[in-house]
Every structure is written in C-alpha cells, then in structure tokens.
Amino acid sequence: MGWAYWNAQESLRQRAFEQLKTVREIKKREIEWYIEKLQSQASFFAQSLLVVEALKAFNSTFQQLENEILPTDYLFNLQTYYEDEFGPRLPETASEDFHKKLIPKETRNILLQKQYLMGTKATLKDADYFEVHNRFHGALTALIQAYELHDLFLIEDETGFIVYSVAKEIDFATSLLKGPHADSHFGQLFRRIRHTGLKNEILMSDFARYLPSGLAPAAFIVAPIFDGSQKIGTLALQVPLRKLDEIATSRKAWEAEGLGKTGETFLIGPDMRMRTDSRFMIESPDLYLQTLREKQLSQPADLMAMEKYRTTVLFQEVKTPSVQKALAGLSGTHTISDYRGEQVLSSFAPLEIRHVKWAICAEIDAPEIFTSIRRNAFQSIFLLLAMSLVVAMVALFLARTLYQPINQLAIGTRKLGQGDYEVRLSLHRHDELGLLAETFNQTAQALKAQREEILQKNALLDAQKSELASQTERLMTTNEEIIAINQTLDLKVQERTQRLQAQNEKLMEYAHFNSHRLRGPWPLSWA
C-alpha cells in the first residue's frame, strides 16, 4: 500500500509538472506573439501614409501655437486642475509642490492641455491645429482601439514635443527632452531612437509606473517616422498592462485552464519583480497582504504600495530559483518555496521578446496536488474496504448458491465412486447446477440398475456354476463307479479267463489224450 501511495504521488507530481509545462508554453507563445504583433504594427503604422501626413500636419500647426497670446487665467485654471484632479493620485512620498513641477510652462503646452485635458475650449486666433486634429484624430483613435492600446503618440524629434496623443494625458504637448517627463522610461526610450537612421528599427521599454497615466504600469514601443529618406519624427505606442494581465491570469479562469484552486502564471522582469498580477492578490487581497506581513516576505514600502494600488505589478519581488534560472535563459520544472513562503510545483522559462528580458512561471501549491493524492488514497482505502465487503458477500452468496451444490456434487461423486449407488443429490435448481445434479442422479440410477442387473446375472451364473459343479461331481462319482465296475469286471474277466484258460488247457490235454487214445492203446496209468 505504501509503495502504491508513493508511486501514485510521484505519478501525480509528474503529471502536474507536465500540465504546468503545457500551460506555461501556451502562455509563453501567446505573450510572445502579442508583443511581436505590437512591434510589427508599430513599424507598419510609422511607415503608413496616414501617420506620415498626420505628423507633418501636427508638427507645422503645433509650432504656430507658440505665437498665440495666453490669457492670464489659463495657467491658473490649469494649475487648479492639476491640484484637484491629479494631485490625489501622486505618491505619498511626493512633495506638496510636486504637481507644480508637472505643469507646462510654454504657451502652446498650456493652450492644448486646457483644450483637451480640461475640456474647455481655448480662444485661439489660429485654429489650424484643431482642424488638423479633427481630421486625423478619428482614424488614429481607431488604430489604438483595434489593437487595445492605451495611447498613440506622434513626437517631433528636434524638440521632443509630443505634438499629438490619442488619450491626452498630462504628457501631451510636453517635451521628452526637457519637459517634466523627460526622465521617465518613456523619455529615455525616445532618446535612444531619436537619431536612428533605420526605417525598420523598433525599440521597446519594460513596464514601469508612468506618472501621466496615474502611475499605472506602462510599456512603450517606438518606431521612426520617415518622409522618404528623411526622419521627421517618432511614433510611440503605450502598451497597457491589462492585455498581458488577461493572458497571464487566464482572464481569471484559472480552474478552467487546469490550474486548480492555487495555480497561476505570472511574468517577471530583470529586477525580479512581477510584471503581471498575482492570483492571490486578485482573489483575496487582504488575506494575501496579511500573509506577506506575518511572514515578513516583502518590504514595508512595497506592502504599502500593493495595498494602495491593489496590485503586485512592479511591487512584488520574486527571488526564487525558478525566476533566477529563467532570467539566466534556462527552462525547467521543480519544487520550490515561492514568494509567499509556500511549497509549490514550479515550471519556468525565459520569454523570447526583443528589447525586454522577461521570464514566465507557472506554479501550483504542492499541498493541492498531494491533498488530491491523499484524497485518492482514502478513496482507494474506502473502495478497497467496500470491495472487500462486496467480495465477502459475493463469496457468501457463491458459497450458498455455487460452492455448496458443487461440494454436494463432489461428495455424491465420491460416494458413487465408492459404490454407493443409492446416493442422490437434492438440488432443486433451474440452472446448470440443477441440470448437472439431475444428470448425476440419472447416472447414479443407471449405475444402480446396471449393478442390479449384473448382480442378478452373477447370481444366475453362480447357480449355474453350482449346478454344473454338482453335475460334475455326480459325473465324477458315476465315472468312479464305472471305473470300479470296470475294474471288477476286469478281475472277473481275468478270473473267468484264467478259469477258461485252465479249462481250456484241460480240454486241450483231454483232447490230446483222446487223440492218442484213439490212435493207440491207452497208457496203463489211465486204466
């Protein structure tokens, strides 16, 4: 039983590893395909006539806005907007006047943000920008909606200004060279591609918290925009985390994908922090955070951030052997202690995506797998006991319905073999055993009849033999008598023969005498 339990445990472990590996590979390919598609689309968009014409038109009209006269209340209104609408979303560690550093200073920045961020129409002498915006905005919006992107940017290379944005967040109309977001990972990525001479070059950043998007995790893909052989700007796509999260978290249908109650897949970056959400944060955030606190598995700052933003992305550190091996380019499966301090079966692999270094892990709690083994073991024991009971009942039933008749038949056969032709089986059944018993009784009756017939014949033979012996004895007696008579006759014949011989001799002598007498005188002696 112990060997069977161990064998079942090992078999189930291997099956779980294979299932985790399958899930991991499916997720891996889906994510790689999704990012590769976005990178290809970025290059395609950047080379499309729509984007080239849009960038030229936006560049020209954006420069014209610098000549506008800025009403005195515009800056004040924009500052109030930043304080009321955006200030509460800033991190607690930010200084009180941090939002003031974000407010643009140039006329065109203020005009465009008032128009598109605040939703209040700006009074302009030259409305060419708005006409261009109305002409291209619908088509460009359709592009990002079709590919579920967060935003699309058109950037002028010389100054780094974002001259157009679909989503219109606080980075709109600011410079990625000198503006408030120049030091963001978006600004750094732009500077890397700004002077490229390759039309097909694509760059991508890793996910990082992006302030203009309310500190939501964001990644960017950039591609150069050429007008003929001249580079005139850069196209950027803001990749939302939501789509990757849906893929990694199975759209919250973990059990349907074979991950049970505790299985999950997640992405990890080179900093060993999550790039997608933990299943346990999604399902039970308070319990998850409490577990991390009690086991002291995360830094206090990370715990505070996870509690505030209700996500593990970029906050949950995962320094496990699986992550270390996957980031080193290795793939495999093994049992480890995970980021919650729980024993898990883990399957890991690196993701093959240009410009980013990510790993993927598919894991499930070991107790869930082994609980299944124990449950199966208990079920097996119960089933074994139930089967034993059933076997006992069947054996009892067979003893009554099968064994006893067969045993009775065996006893009857043995008695019959010993010469007891009176034996009979009293089996009143309508099955094969009943037919066999009836045949046995018929056979016994036939043997009895044969025996009686043989005995009768033997008795007759004995009588005939006795009569024959009696006759033989009488014959022998008669024969002896005959022999005795013969012997007596022989004696009498011999005696008579002897007498006759004697008489004959006398007669011969007499005859001889008479013969001589007749021929001559008798002797004197005869006188």
Mean pLDDT of the chain: 85
Render pLDDT for 270-298 as a digit per residue (tens, 0 to 9): 999 999 999 999 999 999 999 999 999 89
In 92-183, alpha helices (H): 98-102, 107-116, 128-146
Rounded distance, CA 33 to CA 49, Å?
A: 26
Render pLDDT for 415-454 as a digit per residue (tens, 0 to 9): 767 777 677 766 666 666 667 777 777 777 777 787 777 8
In 310-403, alpha helices (H): 321-327, 366-398
pTM: 0.70
Give which of 233, 82, 202, 213 is closest to 150, Cα–Cα: 213
User: In the prediction, which pLDDT does 94 show?
Assistant: 57
Instruction: Reply yes or no on whether the pLDDT at 192 is more than 60.
Output: yes
Pairing of strands 216-227, 230-240: antiparallel
Instruction: Reply yes or no on whether the pLDDT at 517 is more than 50.
Output: yes
- Burial per residue of 95-120, b for 16 or more beta-carbon CB atoms within 10 angstroms, e otherwise: eeeebeebbbebbbbbbbbbbbbeee
Rounded distance, CA 75 to CA 82, Å?
A: 11
In 222-365, alpha helices (H): 241-248, 279-283, 285-295, 300-309, 321-327
User: In the prediction, which pLDDT does 168 show?
Assistant: 94
Percent of the chain clearing pLDDT 70 (strictly above): 84
Cα 100 from chain centroid (whole Å)? 57
Instruction: Reply yes or no on whether the pLDDT at 165 is more than 90.
Output: yes
What values do phi and psi take at 445, rounded to 5? Answer: -65, -40
Considering only residues 370 and 240, tell me which one the structure prediction assigns the higher pLDDT: 240
Domains of the chain in start order, with CATH, are 1-36+249-402 (3.30.450), 48-245 (3.30.450.20)
**pLDDT tier at 527, thresholds 50, 70, 90:** very low
User: In the prediction, which pLDDT does 183 show?
Assistant: 95
Render pLDDT for 106-127 as a digit per residue (tens, 0 to 9): 888 888 988 888 877 656 655 7
Instruction: Reply yes or no on whether the pLDDT at 402 is more than 70.
Output: no
Render pLDDT for 210-231 as a digit per residue (tens, 0 to 9): 999 988 899 999 999 999 999 9
Render pLDDT for 133-163 as a digit per residue (tens, 0 to 9): 999 999 999 999 999 999 999 999 999 999 9
**pLDDT tier at 460, thresholds 50, 70, 90:** confident
Q: Count other C-beta atoms under 10 Å from residue 270's C-beta.
A: 11
